[in-house]
Amino acid sequence: MVGAARNPDEGELSASQITNITPELTDDYLRCNELSGTDYETLQTKTFYGQEKKGLAYIIGIMNMILHGIEAPNLIHSNTLNENVMDIQEKDRHDIILANPPFGGGERREVQQNFPIRTGETAYLFLQHFIRKLKAGGRGAVVIKNTFLSNTDNASVGLRKELLEACNLHTVLDCPQGTFQGAGVKTVVLFFEKGEATQKIWFYQLDPGRSMGKTNPLSDEDLKEFLELQKSFADSPKSWTVKRGDLNEVTFDLSVKNPNEPEKEASRSPEDIISDMLARDAETADLLENIRVLL
């Protein structure tokens, strides 16, 4: 599901966000004691927009938004990717896009014709849609599989080039395996602002110190250091900055390689490993021989 918004406090939402909108999002963050009648009307009618291809997710999205205070959700039952991105008009663009598009899906060739970079990878089509759906100065945060940063196929290279030239990709959050359920691969979150080319990119390697999963999800505490360091794009053992001029101008490779990570202890040599294995085999043989004597 993709949603939209048309003022600085509004945002375009993904399926996971629309169908899991929390009271904290609608009440604690957007609603406040000083909320005027006009602001309340904006929150109700001009803040959250959405499109959903699948019928069940569409119904769940409508229901969840109503249960959390959005009385008349602006959700449409349609395939976002059927929209030709070259036909998007200024009145249809948004200030904020937050999205977790599906990975690994495939779209028909006629759908791919709606995009300048044609690919069967659904997530890549969505990213093109998001870039063009933002207003100038609009901000985006998009979850995508980390292989996007380094894949060498034409679509990946072309899309990285477009993102760097059309937007200021200022932050890449590298997430551990299991952060997003159902992704099946490691993911990153791309934070960018449209209208100004990228000059430098700040990377942060998130490491909660535990395995992530359905029963052990990401918490606000896990992101505390990231949020603090991101304010000034500070370097640390988990964060670093890459200048646009240092990137390969052919591949635009954005691989997550932390130069500040402490060096790991050198691995043992093959000779040491073999010697250790032979010693253990000798010990095992002695034990078996002693057991046989006792039989």
CA 141-185-105 angle, to 5 degrees, is 75
Number of residues that make up the chain: 295
SS3 content of the chain, % helix, strand, coil (to 5): 40, 20, 40
Q: Which residues of the chain have pLDDT under 50?
A: 1-27
Quick one: pLDDT at residue 265?
59
Distance CA(13)–CA(136), nearest Å, equals 18
Euclidean distance between CA atoms 205 and 146, whole angstroms: 12
Question: β-pairing, 74-77 with 49-52?
Answer: parallel
* pLDDT on residue 233: 97
The residues, any chain, with a CB within 8 Å of residue 135's CB and separated by 6 or more, are 90, 93, 94, 95, 194
Query: For residue 63, what is the enclosing H or E element?
Result: helix 55-67
| Secondary structure class of 49 (helix, strand, coil) | strand
Q: What was the pLDDT predicted at 90?
A: 93
10 Å CB burial of residue 287 (0-12, 13-18, 19+) is exposed
Residue 165 has a pLDDT of 97
* Distance, CA of 26 to CA of 135 (rounded, Å): 23
Letter string b/e over residues 169-190, b meaning 16 or more CB atoms within 10 A of that residue's CB: bbbbbbbbebbbeebeebbbbb
For residue 31, the model assigns a pLDDT of 61
Q: Are strands 2-4 and 94-99 parallel, antiparallel or unpaired?
A: unpaired
Sheet strands side by side (includes 167-174): 94-99, 134-145, 187-194, 167-174, 200-205, 239-243
